[in-house]
Copies of this chain bind each other. A is one copy, B any other.
Amino acid sequence: MPRVLIVGGGFAGVATAKALRNTSCRVTLIDQRNYYLFQPLLYQVATAGLSPADIAGPIRGLFRDQPNVRVVLGAVTDVDVGTREVIIRDVRVPYDYLVIAAGARHSYFGHDEWAPFAPGLKQIDDAISIRSRLLFAFEQAENAESAAVQREMLTFVIVGGGPTGVELAGAIAELAHHGLAHEFRAIDPSKARVILMQAGPRILPTFPESLSRRAAAALTTLGVEVVTDSAVERIDDQGVVVSGCRVAARSVFWAAGVMASPAAQWLKAEADRAGRVKVVKDLSVPGLPNVFAIGDTALSNGWNGNPVPGLASAAKQQGCYVASVIKARIERRPPPAPFRYRHAGSLATVGRKAAVAEFGRLRLFGAPAWWVWGLVHVLFLSGMRNRMVVALEWFWAYLTYRPSTRLITGEIPMPTRSTFAPSTAGSPSRVAVRR
The answer to whether A184 has its CB under 8 Å from any CB of chain B is yes
Name the B residues within 8 Å of A428 (CB-CB).
87, 90-92
A70: chain B residues at CB < 8 Å are: 185-186, 433-435
Q: Which residue of B lies closest to A85 (CB)?
A: B430
Given contacts A89-B421, A407-B53, contact A64 B183 (CB under 8 A): yes
Instruction: Give the complex CA separation of A404 and B35 in angstroms.
Output: 12
Known: A51-B51, A182-B64, A392-B388. A418 touches B89 (CB 8 A): yes
A305 within 8 A of B: no
Is B408 within 8 A of A33, CB to CB?
Answer: yes
A54: interface (CB < 8 Å): yes
Residues facing B in A406-429 (CB within 8 A) are 406-410, 418, 420-422, 425, 428-429
> Within 8 Å of chain B (Cβ to Cβ): is A286?
no
A67 contact set on B, CB distance < 8 A: 185
Q: Which residues of B contact A111 (CB under 8 A)?
A: none
Question: Which chain B positions have C-beta within 8 A of A60?
Answer: 183-184
Chain B residue nearest to A396 (CB atoms) is B385
Q: A51-B52, A142-B72 are in contact. Are A404 and B88 (CB under 8 A)?
A: no
**Which residues of A, 30-87, contact B by the 8 Å Cβ criterion?**
33-35, 51-54, 56-58, 60-61, 63-65, 67, 70-74, 85, 87
Q: If A93-B433, A431-B93 touch, does A385 touch B407 (CB 8 Å cutoff)?
A: no
Check A143 for interface membership: any CB of B closer than 8 A: yes
Q: Which chain B residue lies CB-closest to A128?
A: B409
Q: How many copies does the complex hold?
A: 2
Q: A74-B420, A392-B388 are in contact. Are A53 and B405 (CB under 8 A)?
A: yes
* Cα of A335 to Cα of B333 in the assembled complex, Å: 90
Q: Which residues of B contact A136 (CB under 8 A)?
A: 34, 73
Inter-chain contacts of A404 with B (CB < 8 A): 53, 57, 385
Say if the beta carbon of A358 comes within 8 Å of chain B: no
In the complex formed, the residue of B with least CB distance to A181 is: B64
State whether A139 and B28 are in contact (beta carbons under 8 Å apart), knowing that A91-B429, A421-B91, A428-B92 are contacts in the complex: no
- The reply on A364 being an interface residue by CB < 8 A is no
| A56-B407 contact, Cβ under 8 Å, with A73-B143, A89-B418, A142-B72 | yes
Interfacial residues, chain A to chain B (CB-CB below 8 A): 3, 26, 28, 33-35, 51-54, 56-58, 60-61, 63-65, 67, 70-74, 85, 87-94, 124-125, 128, 135-136, 139, 142-143, 181-186, 385, 388-389, 392-393, 396, 400, 402, 404-410, 418, 420-422, 425, 428-431, 433-435
Sample of 16 A–B contacts (CB below 8 Å) = A28-B433, A34-B406, A34-B407, A34-B408, A52-B409, A58-B183, A60-B184, A73-B143, A85-B430, A90-B425, A91-B421, A92-B428, A92-B430, A92-B431, A93-B431, A94-B430
Other A-B contacts than A57-B404, A73-B139, A90-B422, 16 sampled, CB-CB below 8 A, are A26-B433, A26-B435, A28-B433, A34-B406, A34-B408, A52-B405, A53-B407, A57-B406, A58-B407, A60-B184, A70-B185, A73-B142, A89-B418, A92-B428, A385-B400, A392-B392
